[in-house]
Amino acid sequence: MTEALHTGGCLCGRVRYQVRGSALQTSLCHCEDCRRASGAPFVAWTFFPPGALAWTTGEPRKVEFAGRERWFCGDCGSPLLFVDPAGPDFTEVNTCTLDRADAFPPGDQCWVHDELRWTSEIATLPRFDETSPLPGDG
């Protein structure tokens, strides 16, 4: 059997990676740290076995905060990886930086006590194929 190989990278393409092996799970994280680091209401993280990730192009920048590490592209700022040295041993990849992110649907939500109240209403909002019209647009 061939070992699964997944690829991904940042917005500008200067940092690329590959991950070998099957994903352990994907979670939507609502913690305040993830929200502030990403500028998003929550972040999808896909967990892989330890040592599964290798940088293939460029070098990301590591930011240490509260004893944990977040890895970003130093050029475009894309958040790529999260590491908690005190936590369980696995590799947390920002799901939406994977080339085939759609292949990793979330199975749970964590840190929901930090959740922004309005995120529970997302499914009820109007949907547009592209940019939404501004109020007053004809």
Q: What is the per-residue pLDDT across 98-112, written as a single tens digit (0 to 9) for each? A: 999 999 999 999 999
Q: Residue 97, SS3?
A: helix
The whole-angstrom distance between residue 85's C-alpha and the CA centroid of its chain comes to 18
Sort strands 79-83 and 91-94 into parallel, antiparallel or unpaired: antiparallel
pLDDT at 3 over 90: no
| C-alpha distance across the termini of the chain, in Å | 57
The domain ranges of the chain are: 5-116
Q: What is the per-residue pLDDT across 73-87, written as a single tens digit (0 to 9) for each? A: 999 999 999 998 887
Tell me the whole-structure pTM to 2 decimals.
Answer: 0.89
pLDDT for 96: 97
How many CB atoms within 10 Å of residue 97?
22
Return all residues near 27 (Cβ < 8 A) that are at least 6 apart.
44, 45, 47, 106, 107, 108, 109, 110
Portion of the chain with pLDDT greater than 90, in percent: 79
Q: Token pair of 84, please?
A: 């908690």
CATH annotation of 5-116: 2.170.150.70
Q: What is the per-residue pLDDT across 5-34, written as a single tens digit (0 to 9) for each? A: 999 999 999 999 999 999 999 999 999 999
